[in-house]
Amino acid sequence: MSAIHVPTPVDAPPVGALVLGGARSGKSSWAEGRMARFPEVTYVATSARNPDDAEWEERIRIHRERRPASWTTVETLDIAGVLWRRDDSPVLVDCLGVWITRVLDEVGAWTGEDGWQEKLRGRVDTLVDAVHHTRRELVMVSNEVGMGVVPETPAGRLFRDELGRLNAAVAGTCDEVWLCVAGIPKRWK
C-alpha cells in the first residue's frame, strides 16, 4: 500500500495529529507517509522487544525497514520526555495502544494494585500535557477499539476503556484527528 502524503505549508505552526484505526487499517503507513516530507523525524516506538516472540520481532523489523535511514528511532514509554526535548525534528509516535498496555502493566492495573488508577491518571495527564504544549510537529498512532463488541474479560474491558479515554484526551488537544478504515484515511477534526 502506498503511503498518503498530506502537505503542510512551510510557514505553518506545528500540527498535532492523532490517527486511529483497527488492526491493519493503514494507520501506521499513513502516519509515516505524512512525515515523509521531513528529512529527520524522531520515531517513538512504544513496544517492548521480546526475543521469545518471533512474530512480534518480525513486526518490529518490518516497521523499522519501512522508515528512512535519516529517522531516529527512540524505544521508550517516556513520550512526554521526548516531546519536551529541545529539538526541532518532528515526532511520530507508534502506538498509544501499546503504550497504554505497558503503562497498565507498570501501575499494577491488571492485578488491582492499590492506587493504580491515580498512577495511571498521572501518566496520562503528563502525556496529554506534553502533547498540548509541544512545539514539535507531531503525529500519534493509536488503535480504535471502541467500535467492536464488548470484550468478554475484565482485562479486555479495562484495556478498551482506558485506551478509549486516552484517545479522547489526546484527540481533544490535537489539531487533527484521522480515522483509517481499510487503508482509507478520513479526517474527523
Catalytic residues: 63
The whole-angstrom separation of Cα 98 and Cα 138 is 18
Q: Is 34 helix (H, G, I), strand (E, B) or coil?
A: helix
User: What Rg, from alpha-carbon coordinates, does the chain have?
Assistant: 16
Whether the Cβ atoms of residue 31 and residue 19 lie closer than 8 Å to each other: yes
Which of the 8 DSSP states describes residue 14? P
Q: Is cis: bond before 174, omega within 30 of 0? A: no
Rounded to whole angstroms, the Cα distance separating 102 from 51 reads 17
